[in-house]
Structure 1
């Protein structure tokens, strides 16, 4: 049996620190993306017998090779403690005891892990795993401090002991939605999720925007409605795909907006925050643009404009509306970075097209925080660009990614290759799009970026690797 111990401190009282860990979404927020992908958190959180499911990354893989891992909770040895034990995974044994105790200025967190490999006797594997655990817990500590600082700025009810807001979220199963829901719930707000399937958990409620089905009482319950739904645009722009992309956004947004407008004035939510995208500016940029720029040309620009118009209908009913124009979200959990990183690791990475195109990127943490900022900041309204302030070109992105992975960036992907994959229109508006976008409104309204530079984002999302 191999033992691993880690001690850290956070500037919160022990009871508050334990309570934060006991909120839905805590495991999602705490887990470094390169180390763990959360499949399903335990419910109720930390209750004995509840099971958490995840995919844990192999050491040295930068989060690109993951194995299923599940653990079951049990009571800990003291009041503020709990235990995770292996239920299923690539080890023969795993027991993780978490203990929280008061110290001057906050809480000391003691993590004690006992594990064994199968088969035994592979000392080099044990050393590799311990090195990976050290990196993981250092990253976990950084993430928790980062979230504590953000929640303090947002006057989180968990810390102020004030009553939280009621947040209704559509699209919470996606990469961004999962993080948004976790940020709100760990802050102490009351979160409900709109789901298309049959609800399985007490905080889930059913809707079916394709059939126009929604319960108006669910919207009347909410102080804020957040909508992140929509079919993925990472596909060939066939006639059928275009219609699905458009209808999945417009129909669902219109249903939410019209239902909110139909409520009695006293029952209406205070704010509606709806997804949009920087694609609204078109695929060709001569100069950097902020939220005051007009819509551009192309299919995505037209969809985004119609999408935002559908969301803006709530303004006629006195509901504050925010449209989050998201850039390319960089995370090892999915999307652009997850597709590009393996190519670079194989020595086959490089710029896309000419490399001169602007890449309007944002970290997963920052786009999730942008939604929380928009809901809780009363003077944020209208379009908001969720992009990092560090504008880069495709060639600069390729060079930064290659440097982080210690690989060359010598194999450019010609434009015709992306056309073969995405079609002519898809390649032009996605992979080869030239987008230079500024986060003017986020900065004006006091938002502080977690990852303002590409280097910081890659370190957060990919870790140090081997």
Structure 2
């Protein structure tokens, strides 16, 4: 049994093939709604081997076939067995995947995938629809950066193993940039440097062109004194110390991009539109974010371009609120939280990756940037949209006491029922194009319910 899918990508043949050959391609192409993770990527499309994690500790091992390697026109991979964890998939799911590429003209490439497998065709068509959108959008973003004069950079990233860091580092690698992962343990692989948040080494950022600082304890959780202390302490001091190292590194980073949050605006601004010129609001998170952003001052004072990415609620089934809500809604047990009148300012994870990329490569950006979609929604509308995408009802509202039981009164106010109508004014002013400006298209893309079929 076989399946053929194809798409036309607006990029030259060699550019498309090179994208597949770079580290990060598999991570960028793996559908987020599937319970599969990347353990290791192939080091070569000619004869490399990739390993994916499956549920229950199982593995999917794919090896590339040297006989099928014909750059930039073709490469082939097939499932194989390597150890007991890969035996079930290797025995039960035959798989041979032929990737072919043909130039339509100097600026367009036809990508074709032929897979021989017993897996359902409907499952694979959604997967390839996702892959083709990722490929085309990533290539377009990198092309736009090159048009702005961007050249390959060395980018140091903290929090590289988190939800955003995993997506961003893969995106940067496939674009030809060198990623240096700043890790708090001893380095175990090439491209890692040890970073002590309490006392970073003076030469930590030597040879680095840009820094993306994502690390920080999760804000999700009951707002106890210990939790709040962890949220603050993992952000303020480490950011100030990292910014100081950047400032003191001779010939060091020219741009310092720091994660931030729309919590800056406070937890209840009613229907007020909030842009980057809006003053800070009240509450614990507003105080933390204000101090967090101020901690980048050493870099700003040294003449480094600093961008503070105020992020909304990230949409990805791999993490965040969507990961928690998806099983409830899929079971028909979902509904609005509280009154449902609160504004929810969200962003698709791939749009967030684009914002970080833009912060690195577009000199027009500095200071605060709201990383939110241009169409915020009310809580009730979010619930209805998610239920509709999953073909389920949204009939079971979560009463106000539910979040309070889990998060405490303060946590419920500032997280579960926060009311923030945030707008991406800075991005709008420079003409930035969002991949998924509407919630429906974002959720369909992330959850494998696209209406497109390649």
Task: Assess same fold via TM > 0.5.
Answer: yes
Distance 1:66 1:416 in 2: 37
Aligned to 2:203, the other structure's residue is in SS state helix
Assess if the C-alpha contact under 8 Å between 1:350 and 1:398 holds in 2: yes
Unmatched 5+ stretches in structure 2 = none
Partner of residue 453, structure 1: 438
Partner of residue 114, structure 2: 112
Distance 2:67 2:348 in 1: 35
**TM-score (ref. length: structure 1):** 0.88
Partner of residue 220, structure 1: 206
1:85 equivalent among 70, 78, 84: 78
Q: What's the offset of the Cα at 1:154? A: 1.5
Cα deviations by residue, 1:42-74 (Å, 9 ceiling, x for unpaired)? 152536243232448xxxxxxxx9975342334
Unmatched 5+ stretches in structure 1 = 57-64, 117-125
Distance 1:37 1:249, change over 3 A: farther
1:246 equivalent among 215, 219, 232: 232
Partner of residue 17, structure 1: 16
Aligned to 2:205, the other structure's residue is in SS state helix
Q: When the two structures are aligned, how many residues end up with a matched partner?
A: 439
Any residues of structure 2 matched to 1:273-288 within 5 Å, and which?
A: 273-286=257-270, 287-288=272-273
Distance 1:193 1:363 in 2: 23
Cα deviations by residue, 1:221-275 (Å, 9 ceiling, x for unpaired)? 11111011111111111111111111111222122111112223xx131110000
Distance 2:35 2:12 in 1: 27
Distance 1:360 1:68 in 2: 37
Assess if the C-alpha contact under 8 Å between 2:222 and 2:407 holds in 1: yes
Any residues of structure 2 matched to 1:259-274 within 5 Å, and which?
A: 259-264=245-250, 267-274=251-258
Q: What's the offset of the Cα at 1:299? A: 1.1
Any residues of structure 2 matched to 1:348-363 within 5 Å, and which?
A: 348-363=333-348
Any residues of structure 2 matched to 1:65-464 within 5 Å, and which?
A: 69-80=60-71, 81-86=74-79, 87=81, 88=86, 90=89, 91-105=92-106, 106-116=108-118, 126=119, 129-155=120-146, 163-209=151-197, 211-214=198-201, 216-264=202-250, 267-286=251-270, 287-464=272-449
Q: What's the offset of the Cα at 1:218? A: 3.7
Cα deviations by residue, 1:24-43 (Å, 9 ceiling, x for unpaired)? 11112223322464333415
Assess if the C-alpha contact under 8 Å between 1:347 and 1:407 holds in 2: yes
Distance 1:247 1:227, change over 3 A: same
Q: What's the offset of the Cα at 1:320? A: 0.8
Q: What's the offset of the Cα at 1:220? A: 2.6
Assess if the C-alpha contact under 8 Å between 1:268 and 1:319 holds in 2: no
